[in-house]
Amino acid sequence: MSHDDFAAEPIKGLPELPPKGEEILWQGRPETWALAREALSILWIAGYFVVLTLWRFVTVVDQMPLDLAIAAAIPFLILGAISCGLLWIVAFVQARSTVYTLTNRRVAMRIGSALTVTLNMPFTRIATADLSLRRDGTGTIALKPDGSVRLSYLVCWPHVRPWHFQTQPALRCIPDSEKVAALLTDAAETRVSTPRIERRPAPQVMAAE
């Protein structure tokens, strides 16, 4: 029997309906291959096993016939293929379980395959946003929170900016990242520049007796 783990979501990627006045501008998810390459280093792993295979072949080729030397090196290629296949599966599951949402007020990130959480980043709590663009058009938009926000790196991984001490949630390896970054910039500037009017009770004036 089929079951949808996210059937309780009133809108895909959001745990509840957006409040009045909030509009969804964009939704997306990581591109699987780009996530495997950038977050899981699949190309480095593949290269490592290629080097092991060549090393094994070179060390035995002068001690046995060529066909046996090739056969002795092939298991390293098989192990490398299995490892890369597992990494690709992890990237696929992570990408399919992720939904990034950009509204006119915030960035929401539904992330996690085993433990699913939703991060809400209002524009007023984002200090800076940085775009890292790749040649294939995919890119990562890292969101640096202001000092009032503390996030766990392990909970957010792999949807974080790598090699930074402060945890910075990131829209990782998304297609058309330049267009999304432009939408984010325009929405954030509009939101932050909009004045907020707070209602306060008027001070009571005591009548003179």
Q: What is the CATH number of the domain that holds 134?
A: 2.30.29
Domain co-membership, 88 together with 147: no
Domain co-membership, 128 together with 185: yes
> For 36-92, what is each residue's pLDDT tens digit?
999 999 999 999 999 999 999 999 888 888 889 899 999 999 999 999 999 999 999
Residue range(s) defining the domain that contains residue 48: 35-94
> For 111-166, what is each residue's pLDDT tens digit?
987 788 889 999 988 989 999 999 888 999 999 988 777 888 888 899 999 888 88
| Residue 201 binned pLDDT confidence (cut-offs 50, 70, 90) | low
Domain co-membership, 129 together with 172: yes
Total number of domains in the chain = 2
Domain contains 84: yes
> For 8-34, what is each residue's pLDDT tens digit?
677 888 888 888 889 999 999 999 999
∠ CA(155), CA(157), CA(162), 5° rounding? 130
